[in-house]
Amino acid sequence: MVQGSVVRIQERSSTPCGRYNREPQAAPSPFTGEGRGGGGFKVTDSSIPPPPNLPPQGGEECLPYSESSDKFHDECGVYGIWNASDAAAHTALGLHALQHRGQEGAGIVSVDGEQFHSHRALGLVGDHFNSESVIGKLKGTAAIGHNRYSTTGEPHLRNVQPFFAELAFGGFAVAHNGNLTNALTLKKDLIARGSLFSSTSDTEVIVHLVARSKAGAMHDRIVDALKQIEGAYSLVMLTQHALIGVRDAHGVRPLVLGRLGESYVLASETCALDIMGARFERDIEPGEMVVIDQDGLKSHFPLADAPRRFCIFEYVYFARPDSLVEHKNVYEMRKAIGAELARESGVAADVVVPVPDSGVPAALGYAAASNLPFELGIIRNHYVGRTFIEPSDQVRHLGVKLKHNANIASIAGKRVVLVDDSIVRGTTSKKIVAMVREAGAKEIHMRIASPPTTHSCFYGVDTPERSQLMAARYNTAEMAELIGVDSLAFVSLDGLHRAMGEAGRNADNPRYCDACFSGDYPIKLTDFDSAA
């Protein structure tokens, strides 16, 4: 927690999944087109325009109100299935369940034993994978899929995964959740040696490394590539003869294994298994590579051992509440964080109100631990989508009510504990607090179910520049004044780890990656350090 005077900080520009800090000019890539025969690739996405509900160039700045710009966002969700007669349909369902992990675009690559088939598009899964005309073209008994999160600026189809390439051993497709911290360094070297890139995604680096590997077998080529990349990643890969899943050595990003009859399933979260009745088997372990083929599943550990550092923000915000992540139910963990928050910073109040939807479980935990009534004092409109209203100053001022509205009967004249999952820039919090105040709240005490977010993430999360993070610029008292609350408190870093079942945060060997709160980055930041 930043205390005292305003802290002057050095900016760190994060590089979430699919972007670079400084991008070399993209060139035409050999990894496009149509092939026939062994490993051939059928392109079906080359002419799909962005759907009309996506923002024009300039991104969130063109919207009258955007809560999404004041939240952290996980960049991707991945899914893969092997030995299923309707593999593409199952993959589309899995991506539906993982829609919260990415809304910019979605893609599926399938293989029928001889030919690969692809469909990628900008927009939501349901906008493009909802008809037999699309699913029917994605033939085969194996498939992988990917959801990508939209950042500011114009989305590009070229960055939508899975990526596909024709390699020496046949077709190869890959989908990636996370971020490679040495991608720019590797990309510069690959370009110098003649590689051509068609996207601005770090994932394409993996394709080139596999393509240029001197190893013989497919398995060995992938291992060779994995030993050159750094960062946080969960990968699903597809060849003519195998489905492969990999987690980085620290296990920062999630990946689970399931079974659906005789089929194997890989997914970012267990909610993608539940939607089709698949049975959760286990988490893919940090540093593990599973190869699934006609002979079953084989497990390999090709990477050097490293301390386990799963992303703790998955429990705070990213993962769906009904998912089981690293053997823990996300909903229960969020309630436990709320209870810890109540124990650390309880306050005399009349009612506990969540900022929906992400603040609900923590508010329930806070209310139970503090013996206060829980009320839905803010009602969320789930059907807003994006708006075409011109962003005049008046509309910008009213924009928060497009998504949230105060339930006056629950908060008027009362001392309100307002619970949210995090504060990033603080713009949304300020608008929410003003709305609750206007609805007649006597007092507003804001409680945040995460520590102050003081650092950017470099491991696959879309975060602002550090200079835009409110907690990196102001102490808690200053933040409270700026947001307009009577009091403000965050759960402590030790309290967050206690909620996860730990005795507290072990500073010498933390159980989780909490770099956005602590500045303790477990994986070296090669690209950032070389550019500094």
Q: Write out the catalytic residue numbers.
A: 76
Helix extents (H) in 136-230: 183-192, 203-212, 218-226
Q: How do strand 76-82 and strand 263-267 relate by DSSP bridges? A: antiparallel
Instruction: Return the structure tokens found at 339.
Output: 């209870």
d(CA 121, CA 127): 9
Measured CA to CA, the distance from residue 212 to residue 75 in angstroms comes to 27
For the chain, give percent helix, strand, coil, nearest 5: 30, 25, 45
Q: Which residues contact 1 (CB under 8 A, 6 or more apart)?
A: 451, 452, 471, 475, 476, 490, 492
For residue 128, the number of C-alpha atoms closer than 13 Å in the C-beta half-sphere is 30
What's the rounded Cα separation, in Å, for the pair 438 and 433? 9
Question: Residue 267 has which token pair?
Answer: 């997914």
Strands (E), 149-225: 163-167, 170-180
Task: Find tokens 């013996």 and name the residue.
Answer: 371
In this structure, what token pair is assigned to residue 515?
């770099």
Residue with tokens 């601005």: 200
Compute CA distances 336 → 198, 362, 446, 484, 503, whole Å.
Answer: 45, 7, 18, 27, 14
CA of residue 469 relative to chain centroid, distance: 18
Indicate the residue type of 512: Y
Q: Residue 375 CA to chain centroid, in angstroms?
A: 29
- The label of the residue with tokens 């159980």 reads 511
